[in-house]
Structures are given as structure tokens and as C-alpha cells.
Amino acid sequence: MKKKFLRVLNFMLVFSLLATLLVGCKSETTTQATSQEANEASSTEETLEPKFGGEITVAFQSAPDNFDPDHPSSDWVVTAVTNHTYEGLFEFSGQNQAVPHLAESYKVINDGKGYEIILRKGIKFHDGEEMKADDVKASMERWFKVNPAGAAIADTFTGIDIVDDYKLVVNFNEVYAPFINILASPVSRQKMLVKKKEIIDKFGESIITEHIGTGPFYFHEIVMGQKVVLKKYDDYVPLELEASGLAGKRVAYLDKVTIEFVPEESVRVSGLKSGQYDFIDELSTDRYDEVDSFPEISPTAANYGTIGVVAFNSGKSPFSDINLRKSVAYAINPHDMAAAQIGDSKFWSVDDGSWFAEGSIWYDAKAGEGIYNNHNVDKAKEYVEKSNYGGELITILGEKADLFMSNGALVLQNQLKEIGLNVEVQLYDKSTYSDYRQNGKWDITLSRWSDMNPDPQVFEPWTGTNGWITNWDDEDSRRIDEIFSRMEKEMDYDKRYKIVQEFYNEFWETLPYIKVFNDKRLYGIKDNLKGYAGFGQPYFWNVWISE
């Protein structure tokens, strides 16, 4: 399991190093069509003078269990919130490149087995003390132990040497090309965020409940399950580089950002209309036109969307049987799934089985050919017959308040019943769902992954032996492990792309989970909220209120 999480992080480092070490390899990033709208809005806002002051209230759908971004229970919302209060040594730009942030620079040493990192001077924590190398060392050592991405590569990590207050060297016992990208990974439970050494000394590997970061905002109040209040940190020291994605200059124009956790979409939408909320997340496509009709309010989409996923508990019967997993792949009608989970077809696509969009250097138009988006009931039934399935109950586990999950579960149930499977949908509150999923009390579950993935190595922690929640452990999973092991060490782009194609082929042959569709993540925002960038996740630095 460690190797899997590690690989997710590794993918990010690989991407960064590829940009600097690979000859003739250029990083290209595609964006959702809606990014054009964001760019047009941004152009208009360039003529407006940003203003300091004011406060906003934001409504997020999901309430996290904690705000420890390293903890394995951390999720998408934890990342979205803590991006305001913590920062990484490296952050991803709008061009999907890991660039220095709290770090000033770095260089690869010791034939690729070491990374010398120089820190920016004058960076202040929220208690006024300066960030130094011992804080970074403590943060990174905890990251290797607690964070799934760090733990995945911990067996290659040999230690950190502090040269002085602003320089340290991270050492490995073998070449680990994706390290910088992993440190900067915008994916949940992956980025290495710098915390105070005294906080880490106090909490160790336990969940951190006292938060002292370096970000433009600090935690003023936390009411678990209800809200967090973020206030502007007056002594924040921004990076004097143009803002791009999560990288570059961050300015807290707003005095206060209150984030409320509101699971019911109808309440979020009505609150946006009434003026209670200035921004809401997880807007369904069914409400897009409604929100578009509200005066002085607009729907908007993130530059990156998500990928609908059907996952198997492959570590136990019946889905330890590859033939039964293949039967599900052919039983799925992705058009019906996407229509139920997303809605209007202008907001989703089922073009191919590639995990990267056309235009990406990792795109493969032939990925999943013959099985992805190939709804074939007769063939699905044939694979059921080949399997060892004996009619036992199959449970699709879901979260009741999550319409994406619950709607998809019901459609999938009908599709699987059509091929003769005995299927039951079980929907629970978030706490029970998380407990059942963690303890393996499920056969199938649905998920939604960000497609903000600049490198295929990111899929390693989710795909091989004991990857993600699949509990997959057999000859097939170990073959995937071997592919990722070669991928993380290969620096030549053409050679590495061939390994990536091996991954695609092996993935669609063994199916630890199934890609169903791509979609766009939608939000609602007041028109007087300016500077919103919409890169991946919602964040509110560089955002101001116009009169």
C-alpha cells in the first residue's frame, strides 16, 4: 500500500523533472472548454482595481472529519480548506508544473538520490515566528510517516540533513524521479505542507487539531461538521511571481472567509439566491440554468473536472474474480450513468478510456479500446458464466446525501440486475459510509476523482497491490506494481510513454476499477466576487469584492 500512495506523489515529481531533464519533452496542458469563459472574465477583471476588505460566506457540500491534510482520512474538502492556511515547498502552476513556493530553489544531487532545497527567507508562521529548515524537516518526516503519498515512498527515504536554517538535503537510497511533483501534488492526501515543528512534536502521528501554517489566511474558528472561519493573516509574505494555478502570488484581499458545510444542494442554491452565500460548490447540471437566471449571480466551472469511477473490493469474493469485474465493465452503460450522476450531456463526455485528455502528453486514444464504453449485455452475461459467481448478494455502498453517488448506484444496480447479478444498494450517512468502506463492508462503490493529474504516476497509489480502497492483491496487481516501478525511474519521455501505454493496457485488462465518464465541476458565484480563478479547487486568495 505504501508503494501505491507513493506513486501518486511520484507522478507529480516526474512531471516536474521531465520538464527540466527530458530533452525534447514539452509539457502541454489541456483545459476544459469552460476555462475560456474564466479567461474572458479574467480579462475583464484586469481592468478593475482589486480592493481590500470585506468578507464572504461560502457553502461547501461536505464536512470533513478533521483538518489534518496529511491524515489518510483527509479528503477533497480538507485540501480545499487547508490550501488557504498551509503552503507547500512547491505548488502547481496553471501549466501543471511544480514550481518553488516556500522553497526558493532546488537541485538534484548525488546522481538523482538527493534533493538540495533552498528555503525562502522571512516566511512567517501565523504565530509570527519565521519558518526555518527544522520546521520543514519535521513536516517532511511526518509526511513520510502519515501522508499516504509520503508513506508510499518511505522505504526509499534515508533521511534529511539540515545544512543551515534555509538549506536542507533530502536523501534516498535509489533514484526517485517524481519527488518534487509528489511534494507539490494538488491531489487530496498528497501535498507536503509545512507546519511548525512544535505542533508536530506535540501531535506526532495523531490527528493535528491545532493549526499554525504560513498561508494568507489562518483558522480563526472551527466548528466541526458546521463551519470554519478563516481570517486574513496580516503578516503574510507573498511570493512576488504572477499568480498561476496554485503557484505564484497570493493576496488576501478579503478580511474573512466563512466556509459553511451544507449537504443539501437546495439549501446551498437558495442561500446563494438570497444573498446568504457568495459562493457554493457542487452545483448539479440540473440547477445550472436556474442559477444562470438569478440576477447578479453566475454558474461557473473549474478549469479541471472530474472522472466518474466504479470501484471494486477486489480483495474478496466475488470481485476477486476478474471475470466478474469484466462482466460489470460490459454491463455498464456510461451514457446512462453520466446522465443520472451529472445530467445534461453538455457537461460530460465518454470519449475514450484514457485517464488524460486529448492534448496531454500522456493521452492515449486507444486506451480501453474494445471494453470502455462498450455496453454489451450478452458479453457481460458470458463473463458472468465464466466467473465463480453463485448468486450471492452484491452490495453497492453509497452515501445517502451524495446525489452523485446515490443516483449512480441506483442506475448501476439496474444495469447489473439485467445481467443476472443479485444486487442491493445500501446508502448511509457519511460517517457510516466511511466506516463501512474503510472496513471492507462493501463490494462496489462509486467515486469521483479530479482529472487535475499531470502525470500517470499519480495512479499508482490507487491501482496496484492494496491500492486505494480496492484491497487488490494477486498476480495481476503485482504486474501493475512492476509497471509503475519502471515508470517512476524512466526519464526519457518516449520510453516512459511506452511504459504508460503498458499501464493502460494492463489496467483495462485487469480492471481494479472502471473509468465511466469525464465531467465538469460546477459552482455558483456572485458576480461582484472578482479575481476567482477556478483552478481545480475553490480558493479565495486574490479574490475581492467589487462595489
pLDDT tens digits, 79-138? 899 999 999 999 988 877 889 999 999 999 998 899 999 999 999 999 999 999 999 999
If pLDDT is split at 50, 70 and 90, which confidence band does 454 have?
A: low
Percent of the chain residues past pLDDT 90, beyond the cut: 69
Domain-embedded: residue 480: yes
Question: Same structural domain for residues 292 and 310?
Answer: no
Sequence-distant (6+) residues with CB within 8 A of 226 are 63, 260, 261
Burial 252-277 (b: 16+ CB within 10 A, else e): bbbebbbbbbbbebeebbebbbeeeb
If pLDDT is split at 50, 70 and 90, which confidence band does 260 have?
A: very high
pTM of the full predicted structure? 0.76
pLDDT number for residue 12: 37
- Averaged pLDDT, 271-292: 94
Residue 6 has pLDDT above 50, yes or no: no
Question: Same structural domain for residues 146 and 259?
Answer: yes
In this structure, the strands spanning 55-60 and 279-280 are parallel
Question: Same structural domain for residues 247 and 395?
Answer: no
Percent of the chain residues past pLDDT 70, beyond the cut: 91
Domain-embedded: residue 40: no
Q: State pLDDT tens for residues 225-244.
A: 999 999 999 999 999 999 99
pLDDT number for residue 1: 38
Residue 38 has pLDDT above 50, yes or no: no
Residue 4 has pLDDT above 60, yes or no: no
Domain-embedded: residue 35: no
In SS3 terms, 166-232 reads as CEEEEEECCCCCCHHHHHHCCCCCCCCECCCHHHHHHHCCCCCCCCCCCCCEEEEEEECCCEEEEEE
Residue 492 has pLDDT above 80, yes or no: no
Residue 466 has pLDDT above 80, yes or no: yes
Residue 20 has pLDDT above 70, yes or no: no
Question: Same structural domain for residues 180 and 281?
Answer: yes
Provide the grid cell at 411. 442506475
pLDDT number for residue 32: 32
- With the CA atoms of 64, 70, 71 and 73 taken in that order, what torsion angle do they form, in degrees rounded to the nearest 10? 40
What is the chain's mean pLDDT, rounded?
Answer: 88
- Averaged pLDDT, 170-179: 90
pLDDT number for residue 33: 35
Please state which of the ranges 18-22, 73-77, 538-542 shows the lowest mean pLDDT.
Answer: 18-22
pLDDT number for residue 53: 97
If pLDDT is split at 50, 70 and 90, which confidence band does 18 have?
A: very low
Question: Same structural domain for residues 265 and 310?
Answer: no
Number of domain units in the chain: 2
Q: Are 309 and 463 in contact (CB under 8 A)?
A: no
If pLDDT is split at 50, 70 and 90, which confidence band does 190 have?
A: confident
pLDDT number for residue 40: 44
The residue ranking higher by pLDDT, 4 or 388, is 388
Question: Same structural domain for residues 256 and 329?
Answer: no
The residue ranking higher by pLDDT, 491 or 518, is 518
Distance CA 320, CA 335 (A): 27
Distance CA 146, CA 189 (A): 9
- Averaged pLDDT, 440-449: 94
- Averaged pLDDT, 4-14: 37
- Averaged pLDDT, 355-376: 91
Question: Same structural domain for residues 442 and 499?
Answer: yes
If pLDDT is split at 50, 70 and 90, which confidence band does 25 have?
A: very low
Please state which of the ranges 73-87, 155-169, 400-414 shows the lowest mean pLDDT.
Answer: 73-87
Question: Same structural domain for residues 348 and 462?
Answer: yes
pLDDT number for residue 354: 94
Q: Are 171 and 157 in contact (CB under 8 A)?
A: yes
Question: Same structural domain for residues 430 and 375?
Answer: yes
Q: What does the angle CA 158 – CA 488 – CA 192 come to, to the nearest 5 degrees?
A: 55
Q: What does the angle CA 11 – CA 17 – CA 19 come to, to the nearest 5 degrees?
A: 110
CATH, residue 489: 3.10.105.10
Residue 46 has pLDDT above 70, yes or no: no
Distance CA 208, CA 197 (A): 12
Domain-embedded: residue 19: no
Question: Same structural domain for residues 84 and 226?
Answer: yes
Question: Same structural domain for residues 312 and 264?
Answer: no
Range of the domain at 161: 55-296+527-545
Domain-embedded: residue 31: no
Residue 444 has pLDDT above 60, yes or no: yes
Residue 44 has pLDDT above 60, yes or no: no
Question: Same structural domain for residues 281 and 315?
Answer: no
If pLDDT is split at 50, 70 and 90, which confidence band does 385 have?
A: very high
154 burial (CB, 10 Å; 0-12 / 13-18 / 19+) is middle
Distance CA 410, CA 402 (A): 12
Provide the grid cell at 21. 531533464
Q: State pLDDT tens for residues 200-210.
A: 999 999 999 99
Choose among 516, 517, 523: nearest CA to 537: 523
pLDDT number for residue 47: 60
Domain-embedded: residue 121: yes
Provide the grid cell at 121. 527567507
Provide the grid cell at 508. 483495462
Domain-embedded: residue 22: no
If pLDDT is split at 50, 70 and 90, which confidence band does 188 have?
A: confident
Domain-embedded: residue 210: yes
